Amino acid sequence: MKKIKIIFQTILLVIVSCQILLANTASPTPPAKRVIKLGFIALTDCAPLVMAKELGLFTKYGVEVQLTKEASWAVIRDKILNGELDGAHCLFSMPFSVYTGIGGKAGSEMRIAMVLNNNGQGITLSKDFCGLVGFKEMKKVAAAIKNVQSRKEVTFAQTFPGGTHDIWLRNWLAACGVNQKSVGIITIPPPQMVANMKVDNMEGYCVGEPWNGVAAQQNIGFTHMASQDIWKNHPEKALVVNKAFADGNREDLKNVMKAVLEACKWLDDMGNRKKAASILTRPNYVNAALTVIEARLLGSNDLGCELGVQKYKDDYMTFFRGGDVNSPRLAHGMWFLAQYVRFGYLSTPPAYKQIAEKLILDDLYAEVAKSMNIVVPADALKPFKTNIEPTVFDPANPAAYLSAAKK
């Protein structure tokens, strides 16, 4: 009996030892994925981030992304800079505004990973201007403003100092022969534009959709012109990330970009836009009327003020266009820097190319695009001109542009 007991104890010891050995050699539990936080503003052009999430594309490329709806561009700026957000749907020119000290602390770096869309913003005028100026009637704007000023002060709103909407507004005023100092220019977050016009806080504004369409729908204003009428296929929103994420999480960022690029391609199939609109209309995203979001995504703008419907055939809001939309150009960044000099934000010319190269991750974009067989345009420093000014912007000579441009 004693021998049997010893044998039994030995067997038990061997079994326990094997269990311990197996436990120690088993594959460890994989660490939880890092949650990447991306912000957005309630605008139609947040669609690439929204659809990358809703279509499961972030999961497809192995990243866990949390989208957060933010109140204003200033909040997005602060959260990117302090690390609360890894990145966001953001105004293309905002990193340049912040870095130069116009829209933030000078020297603060926000990096542009890729462009999200072209076109699709607008200038809305209040009903004060109905009958004084129509769709794209820029020659009548100066007289119309003076007419309204005979009764009240005239104030226009944009969404962030030095942001894209601010620069479209100032370019429009200059092209219309209106001195920007003769009118008020204030900053209002995009989703608050319509409510502020309704209570007569301003007589016009520049913002992204659907807030131009909503003003027309609610009969408090009309679309005077779209941003593609100012500059066809201009850069508008970008995927902007904080410096630490760009430098320290390169592979995660590349996978985020792949998901967003696939979403951009999906969005440029016009057959998908009704589905996109049905998702964007939700309260946790844009929270605006489905009919307005859908119509303007499809290039059909009911202008308001009995001006009829303007249909855009090849220059509505685009997200991909064979990849041409998404490549961030150095020349475009340099153009915005030149606008800051032109309109008095900067008293001395900045280091144009050096700043653009610091803030634009064009090499990273090219790497991601090529891995997805997307053509990368070879036009990063190509001269160009907008629709409403005769002066060509040559990134090799911004001074020549500035000497010829209207202020």
Does a cis peptide bond (omega within 30 degrees of 0) precede residue 31? no
Under the banding of pLDDT at 50, 70 and 90, the label for residue 202 is very high
Q: Does domain 121-230 have CATH number 3.40.190.10?
A: yes
Q: Is the pLDDT assigned to residue 205 strictly greater than 70?
A: yes
- How do residues 5-46 score in pLDDT, each as one tens digit? 444 454 444 444 445 444 444 455 555 679 999 999 999 999
**Residue whose C-alpha is closest to residue 173's, from 130, 207, 147, 204:** 204
Specify the range with the lowest mean pLDDT, choosing from 10-14, 128-132, 356-360: 10-14
pLDDT at 406: 83
Say how far apart CA 126 and CA 129 lie, in whole Å. Answer: 6
Q: What is the crossing angle of helices 250-267 and 362-371, to 10°?
A: 60
Any bridge partners for residue 297, and if so which? none
- DSSP for 102-158, please give it: SSSSTT--EEEEEE--B--EEEEEEGGGTTT--TT-GGGHHHHHHHHHTTS--EEEE
Q: What percent of the chain has pLDDT over 70?
A: 92
Name all contacts of 352-359 with Cβ < 8 Å and 24+ positions apart.
352/395, 352/398, 353/395, 355/96, 355/99, 355/100, 356/96, 356/330, 356/331, 357/330, 358/99, 358/109, 359/95, 359/96, 359/99, 359/109, 359/110, 359/111, 359/112, 359/333
Q: Please tell me whether residue 246 adopts helix, strand or coil conformation.
A: helix
For the chain, how many residues are written? 407
- Mean pLDDT within 46-52: 98
pLDDT at 28: 56
pLDDT at 31: 59
Please calculate the CA angle 245-319-224 and round it to the nearest 5 degrees: 115
Say how far apart CA 49 and CA 121 lie, in whole Å. Answer: 18
Q: Is the pLDDT assigned to residue 290 strictly greater than 70?
A: yes
**Longest Cα–Cα distance in the chain:** 115
CB 342 within 8 A of CB 407: yes
| Burial class of residue 153 in the structure, from the number of CB atoms within 10 Å of its CB (0-12 exposed, 13-18 middle, 19+ buried) | exposed
Residue 189 has which token pair? 């977050």
pTM here is: 0.92
**Residue whose C-alpha is closest to residue 47's, from 291, 373, 293:** 293
Please calculate the CA angle 170-192-38 and round it to the nearest 5 degrees: 90
Domain spanning 35-119+234-297+315-404: which superfamily?
Answer: Periplasmic binding protein-like II (3.40.190.10)
**Residues 6 or more apart from 328 whose CB is under 8 A from it?**
92, 112, 113, 114, 115, 235, 238, 360, 361, 362, 365
Say how far apart CA 182 and CA 373 lie, in whole Å. Answer: 50
The per-residue pLDDT of the chain, averaged, comes to 93
**Residue whose C-alpha is closest to residue 117's, from 38, 194, 204, 209:** 209
- Range list for CATH 3.40.190.10 in the chain: 35-119+234-297+315-404, 121-230
pLDDT at 32: 66
Under the banding of pLDDT at 50, 70 and 90, the label for residue 385 is very high
